[in-house]
Structure 1
Amino acid sequence: MSSVPSQSLSYLDLINRCDNTTINHSAPGDFSDALFEELTPLRLSADPDSPVIGLLRPIMIQQLSADNERSIKEGKKELWFLDPKLHNGFASLQAWLNTPSKRTTALKELSERWRDEEVFPDVSGKRKWRNEMYPVYKDPFGVHDYPSDAGRDDYNYAFEIERSVCALFGIVTYGVHMTIYQESIATRSLKIWVPTRARTKQTFPGMLDNTVAGGIPSGMGMFDSLVKECMEEASIEEHVVNAHARGAGVISYFYKTTAGWLQPEIEYVYDMPMPLNADPVPFTPKPLDGEVESFDFLTQDQVISKMRAGLFKPNCALVLIDLFVRLGYISPENEPDYMKIVTRLHGRFDYDLWQAQAQA
């Protein structure tokens, strides 16, 4: 590993930029994020055994209360149950929303109204709208199933919701990230294909990214999502992905945006190592759908320099750190924060505290 200026970001600094939220629960009635903003767990229903599916900021409690009042005035069913003891309680969907299809329909109408009325323009307004449906699971660490009958409620799948709205509700989201690289074991050298995000992207425009990355849309599996993103973002053919991509685990982190919105995320990580004697053409990414401005084949030292300068999208730096750990370039012998780094790449978002608070 090359030496870097002392003022540059360390690997642990890079993790702290992305995994930047913890839950405080040090005293009765104290359930807040790291900056002591009171949070309210969002249950699927008011049933005592109902799972927690998200976390709500005070501004969201106010908005849900206002939406209930609006529903009453319009003679419609209320969507939200709001515990009168919200400072140490929970919120939930109403009992009549008892199937995935009912929840999806109700939240789609709500999300689109918020979009059109620019209720939260910095998150899910017209300019931030993604037009992608994301799955919400009863157990965020459980199976990614999908109902053949959305009128039944015996799946881990609970409903689906517009991607840009997930952060408003503090819902766990999922993605796939893949690195195309070439490694010489003999010379202990590594080169990585690195894209620059388009300046028109809704999030992190112009920053550096992983070779291929994207969210997992509702109803699609992890590897199928990867195949889709490989073609759309990088012009990598499906047969190449099938032959050479391999699963390499997951990373997870609890990210809070600069505006305070909560984004706990799980990313499924894939590698595509390029054989040294292989034709490079099938592995060479090229922009296709306009989300990537360009690709560069960078040495490991160049990648590390740009990471430590803060040029990578925060979660993409974590994927690269995970790669360096797995390939042995970050080790206990050369990194004093090794154990902190490795354990921080696989967090649980203090999820047990979400559940405990909702049952308090």
Structure 2
Amino acid sequence: MSNDTPIPASSPLSYLDLIKICDNFRLPPNYGSADVVQKPSDIDSFVPWTLTQSRGSPTIGLLRLDVVDLLRKEKTGTWVIPEPQVGHSISFDISVNTPTKRTAALKELCERWRDAGAFPASIGPKQWRDEMYPVYRNPFGVHDHCLESDSDDGNYAFEMERAACRLFGVVTYGVHMTIYEGIPNSQQVKLWVPTRAKTKQTWPSWLDNSVAGGISSGMPIFESLVKECAEEASIDADIVRNHAKPVGAVSYFFRNRMHFLQPEFQYVYDLGVPPDSPFRPCPSDGEVESFDLLSLDEVKSKMRQGLFKPNCAVVLIDFFVRHGHLTPDDEPDYTEIVTRLHGGFEYERWGQQV
């Protein structure tokens, strides 16, 4: 995602504008057809990445043609890369047939590309996270990663460096929590809003959700939230376990400024705090510069100025819908907004070339 410093919008953004900034990509109508330009410079063409070349093998990502072009230069025995034609896909070789083998192959590849200076804005040393993300056969299926087993019978397929996920167009997952003070459906409700640190690798100095973070490989969903609360906001685990409430999810199909695809699924939580409570989130791990308790109107104003990280604005819009601050009677774009909060990445089309 973009690393730009936030610049206030010249005119107030609508809620639908904010959704479109984050949910900003659709596969072109000619995806998978014979008239697709097969040149690495064509940023609007993608090739499906499947686990194997077998018919019906799950599609796990979407590769831009310049990534495919670089993969063609790799040694045989790890990848199967057919010549461009209608219906082709990129896959692992049949011998790379377990989560451990796939993970090892990608680790070696991505670290070598990083050291060689390939795609520096995505996987260069400054962008590298040293954090592994899971990849699943079915992105909407169970998170079943078992660290003690190398079975290839479940939904978990392998894991890969977080920064490299954008190159391979795989679905990634995260947790976002809104901490509010007061009654959530009241106009007097206040929200805890952090400012991201200037040193963050992504989106430095933007406004964020109260707590947010990606789900690392092998980490249960709720435990990811507990971990992020401790690391980002110094919130005790017992508070999170006793008071954080799962309230749904948002999903969106994002293409970043380098034109790589980042389909993302965020599990959403609320945590309510009594009015005038002594509770206060505090920065802990250096990823947050400060926390501010803002009124509903202040939050809306900053959102419409474009000061929030795009996916955080989406999570806040979901909060507004759930608590009656955005209704079909006062929002003409309500139906489209609510529908696009829960997108499916056009996943049914990803493998139509295969």
TM-score bracket for this pair, using the shorter chain length:
over 0.9
1:10: which partner in 2? Answer: 14
Deviations 1:80-134 (A, max 9, x none): 1112234542111111110001101111111111111121110011110001000
RMSD: 1.9
1:146-225 to 2 correspondence within 5 Å? 146-184=145-183, 188-225=187-224
Stretch deviating more after TM superposition (19-28 or 107-116): 19-28
Determine the C-alpha separation between the residues in 1 that align with 2:54 and 2:148.
23
**How has the CA–CA distance of structure 1 residues 228 and 252 changed in structure 2, closer, same or farther, with 3 Å as cutoff?**
same
Determine the C-alpha separation between the residues in 2 that align with 1:185 and 1:138.
38
1:63: which partner in 2? Answer: 70
1:315: which partner in 2? Answer: 311
Report the Cα offset of residue 139 of structure 1: 0.2
Report the Cα offset of residue 146 of structure 1: 1.0
Deviations 1:147-197 (A, max 9, x none): 355432001000000000000000100000001002337953220000000
Stretch deviating more after TM superposition (221-230 or 188-197): 188-197
The residue type paired with residue 195 of structure 2 is T
**How has the CA–CA distance of structure 1 residues 88 and 223 changed in structure 2, closer, same or farther, with 3 Å as cutoff?**
same
Determine the C-alpha separation between the residues in 2 that align with 1:329 and 1:104.
44
1:47: which partner in 2? Answer: 54
The residue type paired with residue 290 of structure 1 is G
Q: Which runs of 5+ in 2 are unaligned?
A: 1-8
The residue type paired with residue 210 of structure 1 is N
Determine the C-alpha separation between the residues in 1 that align with 2:10 and 2:130.
43
- Aligned-partner SS, 1:356: coil
Report the Cα offset of residue 30 of structure 1: 5.6
Determine the C-alpha separation between the residues in 2 that align with 1:215 and 1:253.
15
* Higher normalized contact order (CA 8 Å, seq sep 6+, divided by chain length): 2
The residue type paired with residue 251 of structure 1 is V
What is the TM-score normalised by the length of structure 2? 0.92
2:143: which partner in 1? Answer: 144
Counterpart among 23, 26, 36 of residue 22 in structure 1? 26
2:286: which partner in 1? Answer: 290
1:74: which partner in 2? Answer: none
**Alignment check: 8 A CA contact 1:24 1:31 kept:** no
Report the Cα offset of residue 79 of structure 1: 1.8
1:300: which partner in 2? Answer: 296
- Aligned-partner SS, 2:319: helix
Determine the C-alpha separation between the residues in 1 that align with 2:288 and 2:35.
43
Deviations 1:245-285 (A, max 9, x none): 010111000111111011000000000011237x332xx11
- Aligned-partner SS, 1:165: helix
- Aligned-partner SS, 1:107: helix
- Aligned-partner SS, 1:228: helix
- Aligned-partner SS, 1:12: helix
Q: Which runs of 5+ in 1 are unaligned?
A: 72-76
What is the TM-score normalised by the length of structure 1? 0.91
Determine the C-alpha separation between the residues in 2 that align with 1:13 and 1:218.
33
- Aligned-partner SS, 2:177: strand
The residue type paired with residue 23 of structure 2 is D
Determine the C-alpha separation between the residues in 1 that align with 2:116 and 2:258.
19
Report the Cα offset of residue 292 of structure 1: 0.3
**How has the CA–CA distance of structure 1 residues 280 and 31 changed in structure 2, closer, same or farther, with 3 Å as cutoff?**
farther
- Aligned-partner SS, 1:48: coil
Determine the C-alpha separation between the residues in 2 that align with 1:163 and 1:58.
21
Determine the C-alpha separation between the residues in 1 that align with 2:186 and 2:112.
58
Moved over 6 A (4+): none
**Identity rate of aligned residues, in percent?**
53
- Aligned-partner SS, 1:184: coil
Determine the C-alpha separation between the residues in 2 that align with 1:288 and 1:353.
42
